[in-house]
Structure 1
Amino acid sequence: MAQVRSWAGLDVHAEKVVAATVDAQSGELRFARLSGSTSEVAAFCRALAGPTRVAYEAGPTGFGLARELTAMGVGCVVAAPGKIPRAPQDRVKTDRRDAEKLARLLMAGELHPVRVPATDEEALRDLVRAREDLRGDLMRARHRVGKLLLRHDVRYAGNNWTKAHRDWLASIALGEPVAQAVLQDGLGSIDALLVRRESLERQMTALVPGSPWAREVARLRCLRGIDTLLALGLCADIGYFDRFTSDTRARTRSRAALREPNRAGVAHQVGEGGRAGGLLRGHRGHRFLRPQAH
């Protein structure tokens, strides 16, 4: 491998990017302020004296910059933010300091890369998470209707949100016209969300055979209690299962994840050679991965 000539740390924001570059031969440190445009940042990195290696933190801007730099032949590391070393006394945060820190950590080999997913894998993950967000909206809409009826002392003797319960809701007539209008609006919102959820679920099921996770979904469906949608949710959160084979502890976690689908999708994403992280109960996929009644 050719010796790296230019090292660059990028502090990436939605509207701007601050770059800190270090010339390996002269040791000169320079800063540049760029717009948030991916093409402009990629062109800046390509113009550096090569070979070049770049790093930035994983964040809401996604992986488009990493893909474009890789296509240009520029080495790029997308660093896991939670694994970046931070000194206790390092309390001052500025864009220039953050960019310089990334460049120096990259030179020292102390950054933990995350895996950059393929575009089709990322698109399918967005679809899975769109369904997850929609299910959260549906739960909140149902809660609003339930609390409205409770305030009017209207109760249902049975299981909520079954077909019989929905028929009962349609027959309710509240004494106050305004309250009745609010009830009808809430029921209409619930019906619309159900239609949207069914549409997303049909798309997810149809995309599985040609998806990057077709084999993993088929294997997970062999486990009791895991259907196609739950298996796809697990794959979307885990990303790739090969990272659990780095050591004995990781293999143990992988087997435990398959035994406990409620917690399987919440492992940290780390890159090749990285250590698989722990399982977090607070991950956004935790509630989604629980089998729930519709």
Structure 2
Amino acid sequence: MADYREAFVGIDVAKLRNAIAIADSGREGEVRFFGEVDASDESMRRVIQRIATKFNRVYFCYEAGPTGYGLYRLIRSLGHECMVVAPSLIPRKPGDRVKTNRRDALALARLLRAGELTAVWVPDEGHEAMRDLVRARAAAVETLRVHRQHVSAFMLKHGRIYPRRKGWSMRYLRWLQEQPFDHPAHQIALQEMVEAVRVSKERVERLEDVIEEFVPTWSLAPIVRALQTLRGVELIVAVTFATEVGDVQRFESPRQLMGYLGLVPGERSTGETVRRGGITKAGNGRVRHMLVESAWTYRHPPRVGAKKLYRLEQAPPKVREIAWKAQTRLTARYRMLSGRGKRTTVVCTAIARELVGFMWAVAREAQAI
């Protein structure tokens, strides 16, 4: 086997051209720049096949980014190993201030050979489509929030204060329509902003209807149904968790999932000194935001409503048991932390962290069925 040769290929991907570097196996193996090639599928296919003919086994890697997973699927279809690398976890020298495509490709090839790269989880095409749909809905919600803020800021600037607490109800919209302005331009500006809110709200509702339509045929539909047995976890929260986290089996413990979502406290300790701060906020912010929002529901005593009872009746016995255990524990913990004088934001973050553990257990139970 003396002539058995392996190669490690680092690809710095871009919109138009990809930079490629090759590292020979072994500690003293040569690391050389292959060149820049067109980023199209046909061009990359020819280059991959050309490199593969020179070695017995080839490993590829590139950074996760806006170009997506098309290159990963192309390389895998050609029968080679490929890693999509987490950019934030790539080791970098603090004093290295020069960045070029060539240097990035060489660094990727060298680090891939050394085993210093961390891979991201790559979804299949169906999962990626659902995730894009959920993220489109999240973007629509953010647009709706911005348009509502425009209306609120406009009314505040003109000294118009809504006399009731709850805004954006039908009563609030009628109140907006009844507001007179001296200059007709102000009236037109308000009408345009209110119309933008209406259009944004309809867009959110359309996307939510489409998500509800596609979930039953999705491969993770059993997990989505099981997650909805938990208090504070409805369809959008469950689908967002499933699309962003993906395969829960890759997390060996709930603590790993908590760390992945950035819900564990940061720590900076040395010697006998232990310093812990706020949560790391690493990982996926979309799921973390929704879980903190869901945690607010645990301020109420444990009980099962009519809608949640229907979900529980459809769930397996073990899932029902986990859901009730989560409700009794988290409501009691909310009361305990609040009784100690903790701020509500801190309390909800702590509840969200424990809620992740119960969601991990429910998802694994649903996958095992």
Settle same-fold status: TM greater than 0.5: yes
116-125 or 41-50, which deviates more:
41-50
- Counterpart of 1:105 (choices 97, 107, 111) is 111
Spell out, residue by residue over 1:204-250, the C-alpha distance to the aligned partner (whole angstroms, 9 max, x if none): 111111112212111211111111111111112212211221xxxx3
Aligned to 2:301: none
Aligned to 1:34: 37
Counterpart secondary structure, 1:20: strand
Aligned to 2:64: 58
- Counterpart of 1:238 (choices 245, 249, 266) is 245
Query: Unmatched 5+ residue regions in structure 2?
Result: 264-278, 297-369
Spell out, residue by residue over 1:185-208, the C-alpha distance to the aligned partner (whole angstroms, 9 max, x if none): 001111111111110000111111
- Which one-letter code corresponds to 1:93 in the other structure? K
Matches of 1:265 and 1:200 in 2, distance apart? 25
Matches of 2:50 and 2:235 in 1, distance apart? 47
- C-alpha spacing 1:27/1:253, structure 2 compared with 1 (3 Å): closer
1:120 positional shift: 0.7
Matched, 1:91 2:125: no
Query: Unmatched 5+ residue regions in structure 1?
Result: 258-262, 268-277
Counterpart secondary structure, 2:231: coil
1:288 positional shift: 4.6
- Asked if structure 1 preserves the Cα contact closer than 8 Å seen for 2:261 and 2:285, the reply is no
RMSD: 2.6
Spell out, residue by residue over 1:253-285, the C-alpha distance to the aligned partner (whole angstroms, 9 max, x if none): 54xx5xxxxx98558xxxxxxxxxx96268441
Matches of 1:243 and 1:215 in 2, distance apart? 18
Matches of 2:290 and 2:181 in 1, distance apart? 34
Matches of 1:203 and 1:237 in 2, distance apart? 18
The residue correspondences of 1:211-222 to structure 2 (distance < 5 A) are 211-222=218-229
Matches of 1:125 and 1:87 in 2, distance apart? 34
- Asked if structure 2 preserves the Cα contact closer than 8 Å seen for 1:9 and 1:101, the reply is yes
- Asked if structure 2 preserves the Cα contact closer than 8 Å seen for 1:4 and 1:53, the reply is no
- Asked if structure 1 preserves the Cα contact closer than 8 Å seen for 2:31 and 2:110, the reply is no
Matches of 2:137 and 2:61 in 1, distance apart? 32
Counterpart secondary structure, 1:209: helix
Spell out, residue by residue over 1:61-107, the C-alpha distance to the aligned partner (whole angstroms, 9 max, x if none): 11110011101112111111121111223222221111011111111
Aligned to 1:6: 7
1:36 positional shift: 2.5
226-235 or 15-24, which deviates more:
15-24
Matches of 1:241 and 1:221 in 2, distance apart? 16
Matches of 1:4 and 1:191 in 2, distance apart? 63
- Counterpart of 1:193 (choices 184, 187, 200) is 200
149-158 or 41-50, which deviates more:
41-50
Aligned to 2:23: 22
- C-alpha spacing 1:284/1:175, structure 2 compared with 1 (3 Å): farther
Aligned to 1:129: 135
- Counterpart of 2:233 (choices 210, 226, 229) is 226
Aligned to 2:289: 287
Aligned to 1:74: 80
Count of residue pairs the alignment pairs up: 271
1:4 positional shift: 5.2
1:287 positional shift: 3.4
- C-alpha spacing 1:180/1:282, structure 2 compared with 1 (3 Å): farther
Matches of 2:46 and 2:235 in 1, distance apart? 42
- C-alpha spacing 1:264/1:201, structure 2 compared with 1 (3 Å): farther
- Asked if structure 1 preserves the Cα contact closer than 8 Å seen for 2:140 and 2:200, the reply is yes
- C-alpha spacing 1:127/1:36, structure 2 compared with 1 (3 Å): same
Matches of 1:156 and 1:205 in 2, distance apart? 35
TM-score, with structure 2 as normaliser: 0.68
